């Protein structure tokens, strides 16, 4: 395997930590530099198992800081970028859209500019053996209303929230740098992820935690919104395939062919949790409370992932019920992780590990 030096942004986050772990362990000849700002969603406790690997380096910093990004490229001479760093929670984007504009748009353009300038400055090779991989979301496509329709790579963008609008803009910038400067790029748009280490503001870990502590399970509207769910480790494997086998300039949709109405998902979660906790069936279901629907709440997302399956040979490894049980077991077995996250203690880990030594 040819040695590469890869910058992975957002590598302490939920999806990013699984990607970092996969690349560090699967490709020992690669040097993996994990750049994360360590906001509320970035947690170095997610990757303690690989933090001392000889091919792994962590850098704390902000992609919005162009000077810092430039210095990082000068220090490591990256030949590839896998860009996952983003503000990603829709509710937070409704409250504070400018934060999403800065990180998701300005931060992405900073990375593109720096990569372009650094790679073009290499007069011997230029863009040869270089790649900018932008990891995006299915939310850029808007909402589906026809039950027989799916998001394709060619589906027109129709973002409905500040979060998805910011991600759509960053996608457009990546394509613009490919078209204008001939920068080698790939983009992937993925459906909802679930699994280990997800920050408990998202539906599945939030409800696991609330059921454990007998708190209300707030369901938006009537719970009729539909999402396609994919196990996070399957997403990491897909990113691996797109990075190594994806075609320059192409987009790949990643999904689980696994649609669930929110209410049906919550009912399944309650059923499994009652069984795991030894409670009478129906106990957790009584915690469900219906709350005012989110502003601009998209009705349905559904990915057609045939392209990545047919062209790159990727496919999901788990059925949803199996993946959900596996996820629940992880949260029930990692109570300290969950307590540290919900209390904010996890944010001290960087200081202890990196500043106090």
Q: Token pair 């992880």 is at which residue?
A: 330
* H-helix or E-strand spanning residue 161: none
Which one, of 114, 116, 51, 109, lies nearest residue 85 by Cα?
Answer: 109
* Residue from 36, 87, 138, 240 carrying the catalytic annotation: 138
Q: Token pair 């990692």 is at which residue?
A: 334
Q: Token pair 């400067």 is at which residue?
A: 181
Tokens of 263: 């209410």
CB-based contact 140:189 (threshold 8 Å): yes
82-131 pLDDT tens trace: 999 998 878 888 889 999 999 999 999 999 999 999 998 765 677 989 99
Going along the chain, which residue ranges are E strands?
5-9, 31-36, 56-60, 80-83, 131-137, 185-190, 192-194, 217-220, 226-231, 251-254, 259-261, 288-291
Name the band, by pLDDT with cuts 50, 70 and 90, for residue 344.
confident
* pLDDT of residue 1 exceeding 90: no
172-224 pLDDT tens trace: 999 999 999 999 999 999 999 999 999 888 889 999 999 999 999 999 898 98
From CA 108, how far away is CA 118, in angstroms rounded? 15
From CA 191, how far away is CA 24, in angstroms rounded? 24
Q: pLDDT value at position 304? A: 96
Mean pLDDT, rounded, of the chain: 93
Domain that holds residue 301: 5-197+231-258+297-320
From CA 70, how far away is CA 63, in angstroms rounded? 10
Name the band, by pLDDT with cuts 50, 70 and 90, for residue 159.
very high
* Residue 127 lies inside a defined structural domain of this protein: yes
5-9: strand order across its sheet: 56-60, 31-36, 5-9, 80-83, 131-137, 185-190, 251-254
* Residue 120 lies inside a defined structural domain of this protein: yes
Tell whether the torsion through CA atoms of 54, 55, 56 and 57 is positive or negative: positive
* Residue from 27, 141, 163, 349 carrying the catalytic annotation: 163
Whether the model clears a pTM of 0.75, i.e. scores above it, the answer is: yes
* Residue 46 lies inside a defined structural domain of this protein: yes
* Residue from 139, 228, 240, 259 carrying the catalytic annotation: 139
Specify whether 346 is catalytic: no
Look at 5-9, 84-88, 150-154, 230-234 and tell me which has the smallest mean pLDDT.
Answer: 84-88
Specify whether 138 is catalytic: yes
* Residue 329 lies inside a defined structural domain of this protein: no
Look at 28-42, 86-100, 222-236 and tell me which has the smallest mean pLDDT.
Answer: 86-100
User: Residue 325: helix, strand or coil by DSSP?
Assistant: helix
From CA 203, how far away is CA 215, in angstroms rounded? 14
The CATH number assigned to the domain holding 136 equals 3.40.50.720
Tokens of 110: 């900073």
Query: What is the DSSP code (8-state) at residue 257?
Result: S
Name the band, by pLDDT with cuts 50, 70 and 90, for residue 357.
low
Question: Kind of pairing, strands 185-190 and 131-137?
Answer: parallel
From CA 240, how far away is CA 254, in angstroms rounded? 12
Residue partners of 139: CB distance under 8 A and separation at least 6: 90, 159, 160, 161, 163, 164, 167, 298, 301
Name the band, by pLDDT with cuts 50, 70 and 90, for residue 356.
low
Q: What percent of the chain has pLDDT over 90?
A: 76
* Residue 348 lies inside a defined structural domain of this protein: no
Name the band, by pLDDT with cuts 50, 70 and 90, for residue 346.
confident
* Residue 15 lies inside a defined structural domain of this protein: yes
233-271 pLDDT tens trace: 999 999 999 999 999 999 999 999 899 999 999 999 999
Query: Domains in the chain: how many in total?
Result: 1
* Residue 356 lies inside a defined structural domain of this protein: no
Specify whether 252 is catalytic: no
* Residue 107 lies inside a defined structural domain of this protein: yes
Q: pLDDT value at position 330? A: 96
């Amino acid at each position: 395997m040819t040695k590469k030096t890869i910058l992975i942004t957002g590598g302490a986050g939920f999806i990013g930590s699984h990607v970092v772990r996969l690349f560090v362990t699967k490709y020992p000849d690669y040097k993996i530099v994990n750049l994360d700002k360590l906001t509320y969603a970035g947690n170095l406790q997610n990757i303690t198992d690989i933090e001392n690997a000889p091919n792994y380096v962590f850098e704390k910093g902000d992609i919005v800081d162009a000077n810092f990004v430039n210095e990082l490229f000068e220090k490591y001479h990256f030949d590839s970028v896998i860009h996952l760093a983003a503000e990603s929670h829709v509710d937070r984007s409704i409250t504070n859209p400018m934060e999403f504009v800065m990180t998701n748009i300005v931060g992405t353009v900073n990375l593109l500019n720096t990569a372009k300038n650094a790679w073009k400055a290499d007069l011997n090779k230029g863009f040869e053996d270089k790649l900018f991989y932008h990891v995006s979301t299915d939310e850029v496509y808007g909402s589906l209303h026809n039950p027989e329709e799916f998001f394709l790579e060619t589906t027109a963008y129709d973002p409905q929230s500040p979060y998805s609008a910011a991600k759509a803009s960053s996608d457009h910038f990546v394509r613009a740098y490919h078209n204008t400067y001939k920068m080698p790029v790939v983009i992937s748009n993925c459906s909802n992820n679930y699994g280990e280490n997800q920050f408990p503001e998202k539906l599945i870990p939030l409800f696991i935690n609330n059921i454990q502590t007998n708190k209300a399970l707030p369901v938006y509207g009537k719970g009729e919104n539909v999402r396609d769910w994919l196990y996070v480790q399957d997403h990491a494997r897909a990113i691996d395939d797109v990075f190594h086998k994806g075609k320059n300039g192409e987009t790949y949709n990643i999904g689980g062919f696994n649609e669930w109405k929110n209410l049906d998902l919550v009912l399944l979660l309650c059923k499994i949790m009652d069984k795991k906790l030894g409670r009478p069936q129906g106990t957790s279901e009584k915690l469900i409370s219906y709350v005012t629907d989110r502003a601009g709440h998209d009705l349905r997302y559904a990915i057609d992932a045939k392209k990545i399956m047919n062209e790159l040979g990727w496919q999901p490894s788990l059925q949803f019920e199996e993946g959900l049980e596996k996820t629940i077991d992880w949260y029930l077995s990692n109570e300290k992780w969950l307590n540290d996250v919900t209390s904010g203690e996890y944010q001290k880990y960087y200081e202890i590990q990196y500043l106090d030594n």
